Amino acid sequence: MISIFQNYGGELLTGLGQTLLCSIIALIFALIIGSAFAIMETMPNKAARIIARVYIEVFRNIPLLVITMFFYVVIPMYIVKISGFASGTIGLTLYSSAFIAETVRSGIQSVDPGQMEGARANGLSYWQSMRYIILPQAFRYVIPPLGNQFINLVKNSSVLAFVAGFDLMYQANVIASDSLKSMSTYLCVGLLYLVLTLPLSYYMRHLEKKLA
């Protein structure tokens, strides 16, 4: 294992960087898009609810790999050429946003309906009530399941390996076939994934305690 780190340090570092970059971009956008659809799903407006429902059901029920290949193969054929890294990141964002939407929706719906009534009766508009009263409480409820979604997202970024995204998993395959040391290679890479996910997991726990 040590020899893998010594001989392929550059590749592993690139892989770690690409995986981290993809994860951060996807996490930010999936959280924004997912929250938007979660809010739409709880709105009084029926059209908004239907649009959100369709989006969520489509993206959480199609395999991540299929969504990613669509952006890697189909979109460049008809619309615009995008890199493997971009198509993987877009695929991961859309896929994860559907799960995050479901998580955030459950958080919004677990806030006592009296909170919204109190706010509306107090003179706040629907959006002001959401922003100041409902969403802060909803996010507090969903930190633990949201942590799970974030960890899944980091691990799912390995989809980049299929579209030449130069991430950790991609480098692992390259190193394994080059060095012929499959076991140590994949152990190394597994270890590097832990380096990314364990701090995230720890941080979410910390956040949960802090806000409880």
Partner 1 sequence: MAMIEFQDVQKYYGSFHALKDINLKIEAGETVVLIGPSGSGKSTLIRTVNGLETIQKGKLIVNGQDLANKKTDINRIRKNVGMVFQHFNLYANKTVMENIMLAPRIVLHRKEDENRKIALELLDRVGLRSQAEKLPAQLSGGQQQRIAIARSLAMRPKCLLFDEPTSALDPEMIDDVLNVMKDIARDSDMTMLVVTHEMGFAREVANRVVFMDDGRILEDDSSEKFFDGEPSNERARQFLGKIITH
Q: Which of 98, 133, 175, 196 binds partner 1 (CB under 8 A)?
A: 133
Establish if 155 lies at the interface with partner 1 (CB under 8 A): no
> Toward partner 1, which CB reaches closer, 112 or 178?
112
φ, ψ (nearest 5 deg) of residue 81: -80, 125
CB-CB neighbours of 176 under 10 Å: 19
* Nearest-10 crossing angle of helices 84-110, 135-156: 150
Q: Where do the H-state alpha helices sit in 122-181?
A: 126-129, 135-156, 168-179
* 63, 65, 68, 69: CA torsion to nearest 10: -120
- Which of these ranges, 54-62, 134-142, 174-182, 184-192, lies near partner 1 under the rule CB under 8 A? 134-142
- Which of these ranges, 34-42, 136-144, 151-159, 165-173, lies near partner 1 under the rule CB under 8 A? 136-144
> Toward partner 1, which CB reaches closer, 70 or 139?
139
Write the CA distances from 89 to 24, 71, 195, integer angstroms.
10, 10, 20
> Toward partner 1, which CB reaches closer, 50 or 211?
211
Binding mask 89-128 for partner 1 (x = CB under 8 A): -----------------------x-xx-xxxxxxxxx--x
**Of the candidates 192, 158, 161, 193, which has an alpha carbon nearest to the alpha carbon of residue 177?**
161
- In the complex, what is the shortest distance from the CB of residue 203 to partner 1, in angstroms, rounded to a whole number? 21
> Toward partner 1, which CB reaches closer, 125 or 177?
125
Residue 190 one-letter amino acid: G
Q: Which of 14, 106, 137, 173 binds partner 1 (CB under 8 A)?
A: 137
List Cβ neighbours of 127 (8 Å cut-off, separation of 6 or more): none
Q: Which residues bind partner 1 (CB under 8 A)?
A: 112, 114-115, 117-125, 128, 132-133, 136-137, 140
